[in-house]
Structure 1
Amino acid sequence: MKGQTKNAALTTALAFHYQVLIGLDKCFSLEEGQSVWFEKDGDVSLLSSNASTSCQIEVKNYAAPLTDHHENLWKTLKNWLEPEFDHTQYGLLVLHTTQAFGVKTRLKDWNTQTVDQRMGVLEAIFSERKEDLLDRGKSSQIIKLQRAVMSSDKTLRENLLGKVTLFTQADNVQVLEKMIFSKLIGVPKNNLGSYLNNLVGFVYAQATQKSWVVSQHAFITKCEELTALFCKKEFTFPVFSGYEASELEIGLHQDKPFVQKIYEIEHDEMIADAVGNWLELQNSLFEELDEYPLYRDKTNVYQNQLVKKYKIAYSSAQLEAIDVIKNSKLLYNKIMGEQPLNMGNDIPPIEYKNGLLHDAMDDESRNLKWKVEI
């Protein structure tokens, strides 16, 4: 049962990620004054001041074919026919699915049909239901959805069906990511993944308790920022945000030497920042940006410079030491709070500097520690 729960949660998470990618892709086509909304009237909505150019999209990532009686079609139509959904805000309603049409489905010509023809198709599909199956006590979920659609107000149904488009065999996640990559002009190949990850993170960050919206202006601004960062051919530092480790992450890494050396001087309140800086450094070294070989080499040289500087500070702390724990904490605070040494013409992020010191502390062959021995 536990495995089923995890699989269900993973399936939901992947489906939601696909929905976010669809919304992100729409952001590239935004015009002035337009915006992409998530979870407003459904999965993804593109809104503008003119309803005729606004679009509401229901996103489905399914492998099974789209047949006459598939839930995705009927559930989507039912939701759009609900009183709380105002279809007049939109000029287009799209069922966006990775599904292909079923071999025998009557839905294949939907997008070229008139409203009357679409009504006829739905009526023909529904009329196949036998009377005993339509009995309310015996109805399956799909029959309940079909009954709700076919018993809705006819005028409302006609007005709504005229806006419905079935977008089938949509790109899967991998193809969709490649399509987004193609829009990132001038970004080195090895930086594309990092650019996309930052964009996805930006989209998630726009969610609040009241709404989740990405405006055209905000999206362009973010793209300009990321393009400036990831298009550079000369060396540039990865992004360091000053990440603070969670309780779970601290627990996972509490036995590492660099963490134990902070516990040794009873400076526990510094552990979350220390583990966070160390994790950001490790992630940056695994990121493999376009200039990764240069970053790796510069990092090794820079770490050695920091260690030399630390050793001088440690020696001075030994000469001044009176209270071991107090002086050890003062040494830690001094080293952690110091501004980074220049790296050529660049000043690295302080989290990068501190992450390198924790990494050096984790290297037992260096024999470094925070505890000042008198």
Structure 2
Amino acid sequence: MDTMKPESRPLTGDAPLPFDATLLFKALQYQLLVAVEYCYDLAPEESLWLEMMGDVTVPGRVQTEVKLHTQKLTDGHVNFWNTVKNWLHENFDRTSFKSLILLTTQEFGALTLLKDWNTANAAARLVIMESIVAPSQQGTDTKAENESVAESSADGVSKSKSLQQYVMASERRPALMEVLERMHITTGADSFEKRLQAYETRHLKPIRPSKCQQFIYELLGFMGSPDLLIGGWRITHQAFTDKLSELTHRYMRHPKTFPAVDINVLKNSIDIEEIRPMPFAQKIVEIGGESTLRRAALHRVVAHTTISDLYADGVLFKSMVDLYLGNHLTQHQYGRELAMLSCKGVTCATALSTHSMKFFLERNSLPVEPFCGLENTMPEFRNGVYHMLAGEQPEDKDEEFHWRLW
């Protein structure tokens, strides 16, 4: 990955600093996304490991090194040589894998000998590497390509040359042949953005469109969660399947459970001074419910936001919402008429306000009828429906929603 920043004018305002590590974090997210795709192919008894044996590893099957990089993959590029060097480590059990994969967003350089790698057998791949390191085989153009990606080491020998010498040392030849028998190079892998888009297209068709991004955020959060890191960064087939099931159940197009609502985020959007003049708020204030106004406003936002999101995702139809609201309006009107009977003959304004406030609290604490059959419908949502109804001005004044019992 190319994280070097070019020399530029003095930094001002919100310009990135020379030690900006954004690309490093993007590379990690890219690695997690690649790992997610591997997790879909895990058998029930398999697990995936991150970083413990390389970037992405399924023991006994495949080990993949992941490179998010913009430069061409040339003969001397360190991404190639350093990857092979890693697989030559004495503690790396390369023979336990069926495949060793270098996956990179890079394309092959125009003059590279590596472009024929995947169609060659192990012996032919060794010839390719020997041709690269043999000084007599390096033409001017290829040398220029190599030097463009080489980094000078302290002794003046390029990092690429140093890696080549290590990899091609005769004492490592048996280990190298074990690597070459299994090694595949995947070039031109999708960029981070395209891989995200491809994941959504391939896997998130059952998910509500407005929740696809949230689904991906939570899945990547799971892949990099502290619990997994502490446990050695191992992801089992069962753990991945359970997380997918949880997210799918929560965000599916036709959910059975009431959708999750981030109360804290919505709470920060409440402006009491903006809400106070609204009809639903005035109807609460007139019975002395000033202290409950902020909570009522929050519940109204919960109801409005939930209905709007489900509408946008095609989960709801207007007739379904109208029926739910109509049922609650009818129940409220009968409940209010019953409560007004107990206030018959009461003329004291304070007493009427107290009775009305009691009625308000009783209605808000009633058991919740599921919204459109959704399990675990939130009481905040149902109460928000009351406040939505209280904000409407029907043509027939007798149908208007009130809390007051006079």
TM-score computed with the length of structure 2 as normaliser: 0.61
Secondary structure of the residue aligned to 1:107 is helix
Letter in 1 for 2:65: E
Secondary structure of the residue aligned to 2:114 is coil
Letter in 2 for 1:191: R
CA RMSD of aligned residues (A): 5.4
Paired position in structure 2 for 1:115: 122
Paired position in structure 2 for 1:157: 176
Paired position in structure 2 for 1:44: 56
Cα 1:20–1:308 shift into 2, 3 Å: farther
What's the offset of the Cα at 1:110?
1.2
Letter in 2 for 1:55: V
CA distance in structure 2 between the partners assigned to 1:149 and 1:287 by the alignment: 58
What's the offset of the Cα at 1:137?
3.0
Paired position in structure 2 for 1:211: 232
Identity of aligned residues (%): 22
Paired position in structure 1 for 2:35: 23
What's the offset of the Cα at 1:203?
5.4
Secondary structure of the residue aligned to 1:104 is coil
Cα 1:193–1:220 shift into 2, 3 Å: farther
CA distance in structure 1 between the partners assigned to 2:82 and 2:379 by the alignment: 49
Paired position in structure 2 for 1:174: 194
Give 1:287-306 correspondences, 5 Å limit: 290-294=313-317, 298=320, 302=324
Paired position in structure 1 for 2:208: 191
- Structure 1 unmatched ranges of 5 or more: none
The range that moved more, 298-307 or 17-26, is 298-307
CA distance in structure 1 between the partners assigned to 2:210 and 2:104 by the alignment: 25
Question: Radius of gyration: which is bigger?
Answer: 2
Matched, 1:61 2:48: no
Give 1:251-330 correspondences, 5 Å limit: 253=269, 255=271, 282=305, 285-286=308-309, 290-294=313-317, 298=320, 302=324, 319=351
Alpha carbons 2:300, 2:383 under 8 Å: kept? yes
What's the offset of the Cα at 1:180?
6.1
Matched, 1:104 2:122: no
Cα 1:359–1:149 shift into 2, 3 Å: farther
Letter in 2 for 1:159: E
What's the offset of the Cα at 1:153?
5.0
- Structure 2 unmatched ranges of 5 or more: 1-10, 136-142, 282-288, 341-349, 394-400
Secondary structure of the residue aligned to 1:20 is helix
CA distance in structure 1 between the partners assigned to 2:56 and 2:50 by the alignment: 5
CA distance in structure 1 between the partners assigned to 2:98 and 2:300 by the alignment: 49
TM-score computed with the length of structure 1 as normaliser: 0.65
Alpha carbons 1:57, 1:95 under 8 Å: kept? yes
CA distance in structure 2 between the partners assigned to 1:139 and 1:320 by the alignment: 91
Alpha carbons 2:258, 2:374 under 8 Å: kept? no
The range that moved more, 113-122 or 192-201, is 192-201
Cα 1:56–1:135 shift into 2, 3 Å: closer
Letter in 2 for 1:162: E
Secondary structure of the residue aligned to 1:4 is coil
Letter in 1 for 2:98: G
Return the match for 2:264 from 241, 245, 263: 245
- C-alpha offsets along residues 198-252 of structure 1, whole Å, 9 cap, x if unaligned? 36624532532223344334444555666677777xx546753464637xx866x
Letter in 2 for 1:160: V
CA distance in structure 1 between the partners assigned to 2:272 and 2:114 by the alignment: 60
Question: How many residue pairs align between the two structures?
Answer: 350
What's the offset of the Cα at 1:58?
1.8
Letter in 1 for 2:371: M
Return the match for 1:92 from 81, 85, 99: 99
- C-alpha offsets along residues 63-104 of structure 1, whole Å, 9 cap, x if unaligned? 432212323223323333345544344221111122221111
Alpha carbons 1:278, 1:359 under 8 Å: kept? no
What's the offset of the Cα at 1:167?
1.0
What's the offset of the Cα at 1:57?
1.3
Alpha carbons 1:19, 1:59 under 8 Å: kept? yes
Letter in 1 for 2:190: D
Alpha carbons 1:181, 1:196 under 8 Å: kept? no
Alpha carbons 1:25, 1:180 under 8 Å: kept? no
Cα 1:255–1:141 shift into 2, 3 Å: farther
Paired position in structure 2 for 1:137: 155
- C-alpha offsets along residues 248-268 of structure 1, whole Å, 9 cap, x if unaligned? x866x364669999xx9789x
Alpha carbons 2:250, 2:260 under 8 Å: kept? no
Secondary structure of the residue aligned to 1:62 is coil
CA distance in structure 1 between the partners assigned to 2:132 and 2:299 by the alignment: 58
Letter in 1 for 2:100: L
- C-alpha offsets along residues 113-169 of structure 1, whole Å, 9 cap, x if unaligned? 333433343344345589xx9774334554554455445951333322332210112
What's the offset of the Cα at 1:280?
9.8
Alpha carbons 1:307, 1:357 under 8 Å: kept? no
Letter in 1 for 2:68: N
CA distance in structure 2 between the partners assigned to 1:336 and 1:39 by the alignment: 52
